[in-house]
């Protein structure tokens, strides 16, 4: 009994016609995991807050002039937490994302801490040989191990680098060793100022043909999203990110993405709405007919 | 794809085996409506908070020694809001509850403001000739009209009285006219002190054979549930309510109920957890094998 | 007993000399109404938060070099809520605003949801034949009816258009039908980017001689005001709005305005202070000696 | 223009007929002062929160079967803050309360920190030779000086003792020296357990004929009021306090009182509503016809 | 430079004379760990909130008539988080607690989730052959493994049972299997009602001569402490707990304890103050001269 | 016992090697004082929030390419509050800062309200004959006395002017008299727009050789820091402030500074993190090797 007297509870509040798994091109995978968080905690509540906020979005995205939901978007229940440690959780994510990809879906992973991206990147990289990763992040995330684990959120891009080349945008926090690694290897990691100087097209052109986007919301300025565990002033603005995403989408093929690190209790609710709209925007850009 | 690597998102986080509409004896109807609220607002977020909180309850209710979920509990999506005014909303609720009853379901309505009970009571009363209503409430709710509408939350029990006899427990706030009506008609409305003096069995014995329970959470003391729009000190405690409910269930047949007025942002999250546990408890009591 | 040992409780904390109704050119009308809200709720607490915040503003507005309070500002008590539905509420607002206008006052309506603007626009339009409306809003608000009512907040500008021509600034969310209507009729609705391209003077020049301003605070970027029920990223900044208002005031006659949709519990208190300062600023601009 | 389409903004939301200074027997004096707070801060927002919350109380107090507002209740604007230190503030309070008493009013002082009681007690004691003080408090407040001032909140009852004998109820926190003073002088300071053992009548009988009540809300258990700067577990319950107040009122004459220490941001809003109802209750008891 | 113009930042805000490690009999070990939390998260912020709140306690505990700080209380910095999974964290805790015990200290572990107790119990049990554990908890915590780990918070008492016999008080939530285990083995696990029926002395008499207390704050009623991840209505009250602790202390020797599960952002600050006072009280009872 | 299994609790979470008083070039002096606050209160919690937030900063500041902690940073306990009034508190601050300066330390004062800067400026000015003050502030702070005290936060720069010349940046709120004083004396007080027009170098060049920086965080736009008692829209951005600070540091010698007015409960936690990073940045700039 889910007729139009009811308001559906799924990403974008879609009716069954667009939300059923079988008819949906896109699958939303919520991963409420934050066990390695070293700053403020609470990103486990992020996926739910994003899905809840998405229910009041307009289905027409005036910013790109399309209705992304028409490809169908199925929202999975939340992936269960594994208490045994982050490696077991990353494995579970890789497994589930892999099954979804093998089933022909476009997978959107909602964190949770940035660590969840490791499983998603691996699943995509194994199935897409020449994958490039475009990372939005305030932090280098290049530690080889942190607080006793190579699967800490602080190691996310180091792990991702083992699967695919990574271009990062938003960098403004790193340890000396991480900064050394960036310079030594010439990693294309851009601070907001460097990104503005280079321009969106330059970033897009460095990416391979197929692109996975991993979006740690702390790449954005805290004025845009304060609700993250390790905020850093001096970040990216919504309009800048919108333009970069549109540029990448127009020149490359986006095959999957994640949006992570929203810790709703640490900022105003508007932050969840931004994350929902960002998610919907990237779906629209990636699967534009 | 909803195997055991996922955590179901429905009341009590039940797997499909127990949560599918067809197999479920119980249906949860969330009604996020609070448009006539005259105090603090926000009970529209109550149903979602209760369902969310229910996902971390133990399925075994040690307080009554049973597993209420075994009868099957289906959670509907949220009933859509009607912006035209409270009468249209009450009509919609009555219609939906009626259809569910006609389909053989035991209906649990989650408010939203207490007004939602009017539709639910009407639907039950039309199908259960000798229905009694047991109301938990801090307020008399006996105004004939309030702020321009006979469907204000302040008129809930006045409207209910038009459908069935009402016994109320928890009374500690009323206008002079309401208090006059109670005395004049000899309405069985009990303050917490009067309830303690009378005892649970006395209340149960005044009810007819079939009982509908309407539970405005402000009947409870604010120390138990602060997250209501019009809290009143000096209310009922959890153990008292538990005992009364058990007594009623052992002597009468409970045919439906609602839990209303949780406005989550006005108190600690523990309040939503209490409301979830209360809901689960009444299901267990009403449908005990 | 209200000598200078006390701190007056009214808009701008003015002493009786400037706050008495008879001596005041400006009247603040607080309308704590939010019954048709479809997103997050709480704008009913907006008027109180704005008045409270205004009590700590400096009376000299350094941004425009004047002391707006000198024309006298009277703060009315809050308009009572009508529980019967939004049409009855809109009628009440139109009636009260009309009486104030007929009494020679400059009326400032503080919402509450944007719906309250419909009553205020009607009252002004009936008394000012060639009135133009300048609307600040993130949303088109052009639905003919929404969730069962033509007086939903989502229909505000559609209703306003029935009274006067509307120029809107801040647009970044609309349904396909709304967007179609804008294009079809050539409505002058500007996104933030389009506004920046056009410039403040272009906007001002399209307005008629007398202007009513309806300000839905979600026109601003959430970094400026997060405390709204339906925030949208990519909005206007304070300095941009300040410049547009100053330009309009220097070229046209502002005859009344409203500030709506502040839902204080959804963002930091600084948002209420911005709304108070915005209100004071527009008073200063409209009634500059 | 304040007809019945408006909702008055004063204690109990009274119409002019009952709220005008000249017709009112009772005057509410809000004192938003918290500059000596040594724990968590914010009681300066208490008076406003209490008045705001009072606007949604029923005017009939079913607990005592009367309508306290009928004697008239005028709400003053907030007393201005004196930045020069607590002694200057206490002097200002004493001065204002004195003028109100000399004008024949029954004065209700709303704090702010407990220090504000010193001024109020002094003003009453000077005009009521045999005044007794009944203090509700979790703390002894008997330090002679604290953190450099004899007017710290921690010295309130020590200062009060210089004006009149004090009976205290609710004690459960004191320094060794304070405890020594209580034992040495045999001060009638009762812990909650001691109060329960003694009974309300015993407390009432120790008071003189005319009584001033100073109510630091932390006397109540944090389950009743968590929103205080220095909460202590194990406090009084609403029903106990209600009974003691009724007993005192039936045997003695209450000539004035204060309610202090509500720091609204430290607990749920229900706490402000309790404080409002407590204030209304004491007015009803003190001035029962 | 830490003379009396400064306010020390350690448990109870003690001056160096009482706070230096070498002079202190008691050591506070803060463990901000919550990685296995399955309900609401945030107990990692508990230790800091407790220490912060303790800084405004009176040093004299009027409830037991002593000054517990006189034995000396040293506050360690927070134990670093181990991201590798809960077993590694439990090992670290056991190691550190063991070293402190071997250094002759009385160790107070502040969680963090209840899991931290496993390490502390193990360290004590290895050094105290006939140790009994007195557990305060709302939940059975008897699962052998949960969500993939035997070191989940839901397994705490199952793990503790492997080190020492356990008596539990406060039980009101358990799965069927856990309840079966309790009945099968005849484990002395008491619901609040059973505890009230049995009495404090009966509980104390079942304990061995030396007792370790593990205190999960959710044993208390949510009206006393709402700020826990998995609150359950119908819990223990402060006065009941105080009496039980005093009874145990008067008949047995308390050799160590922990206070866990405070998640400060989930309830009012008063909850942290209760936890601080509880900690100070147990120190006072355990080491009463 | 503070080995690497622990996380130090001091500014930047430094190990003893860098945090011990004797080895540290920099001393952090937390001053939790907010007794003259006339807007929203709570800056007394600012120092603690800043220190807490600093514990999760990266020690390498990628923005300036250095590791500021290497000069050593000692964090003092919080300066005790003086309840006697603001003058006594200012004297205490001047005394302590003076002693630290005489001991060869670089002093960083963390407020608390802006008033605390008066003591710090005096101590520096007495020891640095040709000191210039660079003030960041939204308000003129030029009142000679406010609400009964010349040591109100609203008089801070007036008092500072008595010790040294002041250049202010961020001005956008002032009373008519203050604005008059600025124009009359030609004080170099810059609004954000004026600052942008003048450029960072122009500001730096007007300063003397040795500079003290007093940073009222409300100079920043509320989108950057909402958690202040008297926020004003239209303020400075992080990147602008960063550039100005770098320019000043490269041309002048910074001898001390304060960061004040963070009231953590009034905005998201990200605001404390910004304040921590700002503090660390200025240390890095001032003491760059």
Give the pLDDT confidence of F211-242 residue by residue, as tens digits: 999 999 999 999 999 999 999 999 999 999 99
Task: Please classify residue E120 by burial: count the beta carbons closer than 10 Å to its beta carbon, then call 0-12 exposed, 13-18 middle and 19+ buried.
Answer: buried
Per-residue pLDDT tens for B119-132? 999 999 999 989 99
Q: What percentage of chain A carries pLDDT values higher than 90?
A: 94
**CB distance from B52 to chain A under 8 Å?**
yes
> Is the confidence at residue A1, as pLDDT, over 60?
no
pLDDT tens for residues E199-224? 999 999 999 999 999 999 999 999 99
Interchain contact D99–C (C-beta under 8 A): yes
Can you give the pLDDT at residue C53?
97
- Chains E, F: CB contacts within 8 A come to 55
pLDDT tens for D211-226 read 999 999 999 999 999 9
* Residues D286 and D29: beta-carbon distance below 8 Å: no
**What are the tens digits of pLDDT across the range F60-69?**
999 999 999 9
Judged by 3 or more CB pairs under 8 A, whether D touches E is: yes
pLDDT value at residue F10: 97
What is the mean pLDDT of the segment spanning E15-35? 97
Reading chain F (289 residues) residue by residue, the pLDDT tens digits are 568 899 999 999 999 999 999 999 999 999 999 999 888 999 999 999 999 999 999 999 999 999 999 999 999 999 999 988 999 999 999 999 999 999 999 999 999 999 999 999 999 999 998 999 999 999 999 999 999 999 999 999 999 999 999 999 999 999 999 999 999 999 999 999 999 999 999 999 999 999 999 999 999 999 999 999 999 999 999 999 999 999 999 999 999 999 999 999 999 999 999 999 999 999 999 998 6
**Of residues E66, E27, E23, E54, the one with CA closest to residue E285:** E66
Q: E62, E235, E280, E284: which to substitute to probe chain D, counting the most D Cβ within 10 Å?
A: E62
Pick from C224, C275, C262, C217: which is nearest to C42 by CA?
Answer: C262
d(CA B111, CA B119): 11
**Integer Cα distance of E128 and E255 in angstroms:** 9
Kindly determine whether residue E149 and residue A34, on different chains, have CB atoms separated by under 8 Å: no
With beta carbons under 8 A apart, name residues in chain B contacting C42. 41-42
Distance CA C191, CA C168 (A): 8
Confirm or reject contact between E59 and chain D (CB < 8 A): yes
Is B92:B156 a contact under the CB 8 Å cutoff?
no
> Alpha helices, DSSP H only, in chain C?
16-19, 46-54, 86-102, 116-127, 156-161, 176-185, 192-198, 200-206, 238-251, 270-286
Q: How far apart are CA F32 and CA D197, in angstroms?
A: 42
Neighbours of chain F (3+ CB pairs under 8 A): A, C, D, E
3-state secondary structure of E74: strand
- Give dist(CA A157, CA A170) in Å, integer: 13
Burial class, C3, CB count within 10 angstroms (exposed 0-12 / middle 13-18 / buried 19+): exposed
Say if F and D touch: at least 3 Cβ pairs within 8 Å: yes
CA distance D91 to chain F (A): 13
The per-residue pLDDT for range E147-199, each reduced to its tens digit, is 999 999 999 999 999 999 999 999 999 999 999 999 999 999 999 999 999 99
Chain D within 8 Å of B274 (Cβ-Cβ)? no
**Torsional sign, CA C20, C21, C24, C30:** positive
Q: What is the pLDDT of residues D22-81, one digit of tens each?
A: 999 999 999 999 999 888 999 999 999 999 999 999 999 999 999 999 999 999 999 999
- A132-155 per-position pLDDT tens digit: 999 999 999 999 999 999 999 999
Helix residue ranges per DSSP H, B156-269: 156-161, 176-185, 192-198, 200-206, 238-251
Alpha-carbon distance of F163 to E191, in angstroms, equals: 67
Q: B13-28: buried (b, 16+ CB within 10 Å) or exposed (e) per residue? A: bbeeebbeeeebebbb
**With 0-12 CB in 10 A as exposed, 13-18 as middle and 19+ as buried, what is E59?**
middle
Tell me, yes or no, if C269 comes closer than 8 A to chain D by beta carbon. no
Overall average pLDDT of the A183-208 stretch:
97
Chain F hits for E103, CB-CB cut-off 8 Å, are 1
Torsion-angle region of residue F139: left (phi > 0), alpha (psi -120 to 50) or beta? beta
Q: Can you tell me whether residue B109 is helix, strand or coil?
A: strand
Measure F265 CA to nearest chain C CA, in Å: 9
In chain E, the residue whose alpha carbon lies closest to the alpha carbon of F14 is E77
Evaluated on CA atoms D174, D175, D179, D184, the torsion sign reads negative
The pLDDT score that the predictor gives to residue D2 is 63
- Chain B closest-CA separation from residue D276 CA (Å): 10
Nearest-CB residue to E96 (from F5, F76, F96): F5
pLDDT at B2 over 80: no
What is the pLDDT, as a whole number, of residue D150? 95
d(C-alpha A28, C-alpha A164), whole Å:
23
Question: Are D173 and E62 an interchain contact pair (Cβ–Cβ within 8 Å)?
Answer: yes
**pLDDT below 50 — which residues of chain C?**
none
E35 in contact with A at a CB cutoff of 8 Å?
yes
What percent of chain E lies above the pLDDT cut of 70? 99
* C243 contacts chain F (CB < 8 A): no
Q: Which of A76, A120, A128 is nearest to A98 (CA)?
A: A120
Token digits of residue A192:
């907001």
C-alpha E157 chain-centroid distance: 13
In this prediction, residue B1 has a pLDDT band, given cuts at 50, 70 and 90, of low
Q: H helices within D64-115, ranges in order?
A: 86-102
Residue C4: per-residue pLDDT: 86
- Write down the mean pLDDT value for chain F: 96
d(C-alpha A186, C-alpha A201), whole Å: 19
State how far the alpha carbon of D22 is from the alpha carbons of B5, D108, D124, in Å: 71, 16, 21
| Cβ–Cβ contact C77 with D under 8 A | yes
Q: Mean per-residue pLDDT for A207-218?
A: 98
pLDDT over 70 (residue D1)? no
Q: How far apart are the first and last CA of chain F?
A: 32
Phi and psi based region of residue F173 (left: phi greater than 0; alpha: psi -120 to 50; beta: remaining):
beta
Query: Do chains F and B have 3 or more beta-carbon pairs under 8 angstroms?
Result: no
The answer to whether E77 contacts F52, with C-beta atoms less than 8 Å apart, is: no
Query: Is residue B262 within 8 Å of residue B225, measured between CB atoms?
Result: yes
Neighbour order of strands in the sheet with B26-31: B73-75, B26-31, B106-111, B253-260, B210-216, B132-136, B166-169, B189-190
As a whole number of angstroms, the distance between CA E122 and CA E140 comes to: 19
Name all contacts of C58-61 with Cβ < 8 Å and 24+ positions apart: C58/F139, C58/F173, C58/F174, C58/F175, C59/C12, C59/C14, C59/F175, C59/F176, C60/F174, C60/F175, C60/F176, C60/F179, C61/C280, C61/C281, C61/C284
Of D41, D81, D84, the CB nearest to F42: D41
How many Å lie between the alpha carbon of F273 and the closest alpha carbon of chain E? 16
H helices of E163-219, in order, are 176-185, 192-198, 200-206
pLDDT above 90 for E84: no
F194 to chain C: closest CA residue: C63
B188, B206 in Cβ contact below 8 A?
yes
Q: How far is CA C7 from CA C11, C47, C233, E262, F34, in A?
A: 12, 19, 38, 41, 20
CA-to-CA dists, residue B17 to B13, B73, B274, E174, angstroms: 11, 10, 26, 22
* Chain E: residue whose CA lies nearest to A84: E149
Distance from the F242 Cα atom to the nearest Cα atom in chain C, whole angstroms: 20
Distance from CA of D233 to the nearest CA of E (A): 6
Three-class SS state of B35: coil
* Closest C-alpha to A37, from E37, E92, E148: E37
C30-61 pLDDT tens trace: 999 999 988 899 999 999 999 999 999 999 99
D91 to chain B, any CB pair closer than 8 A? The answer is no
Strand partners, F136: F169, F215
Check if C151 contacts B (Cβ < 8 Å).
yes
Average pLDDT over residues D92-106: 98
User: Residue E186 and residue E188: Cα distance in Å, rounded?
Assistant: 6
The answer to whether C57 and C104 have CB atoms below 8 angstroms apart is: no
Under an 8 A CB cutoff, do C273 and F179 touch? no
Strands A253-260 and A106-111: parallel
User: CB of E51 within 8 A of CB of E110?
Assistant: yes
């Amino acid at each position: 009994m889910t007729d139009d007297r009811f308001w559906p509870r799924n990403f974008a509040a879609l009716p069954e016609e667009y939300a059923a798994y079988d008819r949906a091109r896109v699958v939303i995978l919520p991963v409420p995991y934050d066990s390695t968080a070293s700053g403020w905690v609470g990103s486990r509540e992020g996926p739910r807050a994003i899905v809840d906020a998405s229910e009041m979005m307009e289905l027409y995205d005036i910013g790109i002039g399309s209705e992304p939901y028409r490809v169908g978007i199925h929202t999975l229940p939340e992936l269960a937490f594994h208490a045994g440690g982050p490696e077991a959780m990353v494995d579970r994510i890789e497994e589930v994302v892999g099954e979804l990809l093998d089933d022909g879906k476009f997978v959107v992973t909602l964190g949770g801490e940035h660590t969840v991206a490791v499983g998603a990147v691996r699943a995509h990289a194994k199935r897409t040989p020449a994958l490039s990763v475009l990372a939005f992040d305030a932090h280098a995330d290049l530690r080889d191990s942190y607080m006793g684990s190579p699967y800490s959120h602080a190691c996310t891009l180091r792990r991702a680098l083992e699967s695919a080349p990574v271009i990062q945008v938003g960098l403004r926090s790193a340890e000396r060793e991480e900064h050394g690694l960036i310079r030594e290897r010439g990693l294309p990691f851009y601070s907001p100022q460097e990104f503005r100087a280079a321009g969106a097209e330059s970033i897009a052109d460095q990416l391979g043909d197929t692109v996975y986007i991993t979006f740690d919301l702390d790449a954005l300025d805290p004025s845009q999203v304060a609700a993250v565990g390790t905020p850093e002033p001096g970040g990216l603005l919504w309009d800048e990110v919108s333009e970069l995403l549109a540029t990448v989408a127009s020149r490359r093929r986006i095959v999957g993405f994640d949006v992570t690190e929203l810790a709703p209790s640490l900022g105003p609710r508007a932050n969840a709405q931004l994350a929902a709209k960002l998610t919907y925007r990237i779906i629209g850009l990636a699967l534009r007919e």
